[in-house]
Structure 1
Amino acid sequence: MEQAASDIVFQSYGRCCNSEQFFVDFYGRFMGTSDEIRALFAETDMKQQRHLLRNGIMQLVLHARGMPDTKLRALGESHSRRGYGIRPQWYSLWLQALLDTIREHDPEFDSRVESSWREAIGPGIEVIRNAY
């Protein structure tokens, strides 16, 4: 039986979460994409931010597994122009940084895992992005 994308992602994320370095590496990579993005985190408690990221990715995964989008809508509101002002075009940079970090940390990463991540969390990212 074909394994669902959300199951592949759930397992992949579990492997990544085995190391706190995953979240450190993600932010190093994401903040390296532009000075503008790096500036967003200038006054940020990164330990707390990594905790929020861990939870936020889990919300995307849970949404892919059938949970309602309530928490993603709240994330969208906090990240919108009325909140942190996270521009819609930055989500593609975020996703690419995430996938590159997963590639580095998930020993089972391959093209199937990557496409599963894109398929599973894409709709949730759109919920957040569309709140802008």
Structure 2
Amino acid sequence: MSVINQHNLAIFRQSLQRVSASTEFFDCFYNSFITQSDEIGEFFKNRDMKQLKKKLRETLFMLAETAEGRPGLTLYIEMLGRVHLRLKVKRKHFVMWEEALLEAVKRYDKEFDDKVLAAWLEVIDNVIETMFRALDETKQMAS
């Protein structure tokens, strides 16, 4: 996991506090994400959306902890990568996930600007790359 700029991490945390105060933020995200493709819509069909929204909230706060380099969390992110591999989640799905998330942040963070966008991108991209690094390593070990 690469080191995150501390200023960006602080901006990310502040923005996350603002957007996560509204349950509508999570509704907006999932509505946007699920409607991006039939493939994604199918994956979320018959899922407990209330539970998924709760898990997303927890995961977003954990991203900040992971970005700080908290012990064990990088291993957890790598494990999430392997779980997503088993679920047949592809890199393109993470791109769509990020786009939907940033769209929701832009809509619900009243202080959204280029600095907030840069902070979210740095944190999210770092975590996604960690997940995919774990996926690549898993694939290499399997071959």
Task: Provide the TM-score with structure 2 as the length reference.
Answer: 0.83
- Structure 2 Cα separation of the partners of residues 44 and 27 of structure 1: 12
- For structure 2, which runs of at least 5 residues remain unmatched after alignment? 136-143
Instruction: Give 1:131 deviation, angstroms.
Output: 3.6
- Does 1:25 find its partner at 2:21? no
- For structure 1, which runs of at least 5 residues remain unmatched after alignment? none
Instruction: Give 1:120 deviation, angstroms.
Output: 2.0
- Does 1:102 find its partner at 2:105? yes
- Does 1:72 find its partner at 2:77? yes
Match of residue 10, structure 2, among 7, 11, 24: 7
- Quick check: which has more Rg, 1 or 2? 2
How many residues align? The count is: 129
- Structure 2 Cα separation of the partners of residues 52 and 131 of structure 1: 21
Q: How does 1:1-132 map to 2 (within 5 A)?
A: 4-68=7-71, 69-80=74-85, 82=86, 84-132=87-135
**Residue identity in the other structure for 2:80:** L
Specify the SS of the correspondent of 2:27. Answer: helix
- Structure 2 Cα separation of the partners of residues 71 and 14 of structure 1: 22
**Residue identity in the other structure for 1:78:** V
Instruction: Give 1:129 deviation, angstroms.
Output: 2.9
Calculate percent identity across the aligned residue pairs: 35
Instruction: Give 1:121 deviation, angstroms.
Output: 2.2
2:9·2:123 contact (CA, 8 Å) conserved in 1? yes
- Structure 1 Cα separation of the partners of residues 123 and 70 of structure 2: 12
Instruction: Give 1:66 deviation, angstroms.
Output: 2.3
2:138 paired residue number: none
- Structure 1 Cα separation of the partners of residues 130 and 46 of structure 2: 27
Instruction: Give 1:105 deviation, angstroms.
Output: 0.5
Specify the SS of the correspondent of 2:91. Answer: coil
Instruction: Please identify which structure carries the higher helix content.
Output: 2
Coordinate RMSD, CA, aligned: 1.6
CA-to-aligned-CA distance 1:16-63 (integer Å, 9 cap, x gap): 111111111100000111111111000200001111111222222211
